[in-house]
Amino acid sequence: MNELTHPETLAAEIAAQSRPQAERSEVLVAAGDNGDHGHEEEAGLAPDGDHQQDEDAAHDGQVAHGEGDHMPDHYIMPHEIPNLATWVEVLVKPKNYELHDGHRAHPSSAWFINPIFSISFMLLIVYVLRKTMTRPSVKQPNKLQVAVELLLGGLRDFFLNILGPRGEKFIPYCMALFLFIWINNVGVLIPGLKSPSSRFQLTVGLGLLTFFYVHFNTIKEGGFKNWFMHLVGEPLWLSWLLFPLHVMGELIKPVSLSVRLFGNIFGEDKLLAVFLGLGILIVAVISGDATPPVGIPLHLPFFFLVLLLSTIQAMVFSLLAAIYIALLLPHDHEEEHEREHGHA
């Protein structure tokens, strides 16, 4: 793919397409082409590379979608909801914010700033809430305390159901996973922030953490021999076939966990960004102004979808982690006993 689309040829194509005052639909295709050669335009306010002069970048902070002294002749869909880091990035103009071949080079030297900032900010909110709003007391619990206890109690029962009484000590990990991922997923709902889990780094970290946690605890619980024999499989004469399969199955688990979470949250962010851009595009088409100051908030209904999907994804991640733990726990007759008990 990369050999097919050289930056030079693409730049020439895009320039050829957008020079004559083309129709908007055609130009939008060109705008889609823009991100086609690995440049990863992170900033939603990416100005048009062809027309953008270096000194124009200082003006971009004022308008939501890049505009210099002269009007750009078309509108570019944002790749990301404008947030604090992209504003700061455009205002501060870091070192590698420069043009080559008429295109902006990798615009985001600050790709890690916003997730870290968002995580810190939201954990600060949690900390402040915990310090100010709760006065935990056994005798006179207030409404908030009762609600939180109800919620956490339900969550605990939920995981206890999966892990069984043997795995009770793993419940705090799963609950912490759930709460952390949920807080990170809904970050996009706070203006100026971004969901940190729409970055691959965070989800891969969580997947690897779960992987090592599960296997470390399995070895610690059942001993190295049990863990190894679990990988070898049941009929010993088939182990030459089953062992690689089991190892690959274990290795694919963190990959699938992290890719699922990343893809969902990333997709949500893209969805919001696209509908935000659509609302602005409609106003731009109607008013004839290429960069209108306001847009129709078409993305607002999707906030509820984001809230729902965030909860589901956080639950799925922690649930699957709990199931992986439960699968690898040394199982004995207790489980069958419990099953019989449940039937009776």
Kindly list the residues in this chain that would bind other proteins in the complex (CB under 8 A): 1, 4-5, 10, 13, 29, 32-33, 35-36, 38, 161-162, 256, 259-260, 262-264, 266-267, 312, 315-316, 319-320, 323
Residue 315 beta carbon to other proteins: minimum distance, rounded to whole angstroms: 7
Return the SS3 of 136: coil
159, exposed or middle or buried, with CB in 10 Å at 0-12, 13-18, 19+?
Answer: buried
Nearer to other proteins, 38 or 136 (CB): 38
Please give the distance of CA 67 from its chain centroid, rounded to a whole number.
29
Nearer to other proteins, 13 or 101 (CB): 13
Nearer to other proteins, 35 or 164 (CB): 35
Residue 193 beta carbon to other proteins: minimum distance, rounded to whole angstroms: 22
Nearer to other proteins, 14 or 122 (CB): 14
| DSSP-derived secondary structure letter, 295 | -
Are 78 and 276 within 8 A, CB to CB? yes
Query: Which residues touch 199 (CB under 8 Å, ≥6 apart)?
Result: 111, 112, 115, 262
Residue 342 beta carbon to other proteins: minimum distance, rounded to whole angstroms: 10
Cβ-based neighbour number of residue 209 at 10 Å: 15
Residue 42 beta carbon to other proteins: minimum distance, rounded to whole angstroms: 13
Tokens 């956080």 belong to residue: 314
Nearer to other proteins, 10 or 119 (CB): 10
Which amino acid is present at 98?
A: E
Residue 129 beta carbon to other proteins: minimum distance, rounded to whole angstroms: 28
Expressed in percent and rounded to 5, the helix, strand and coil fractions of the chain are: 65, 0, 30
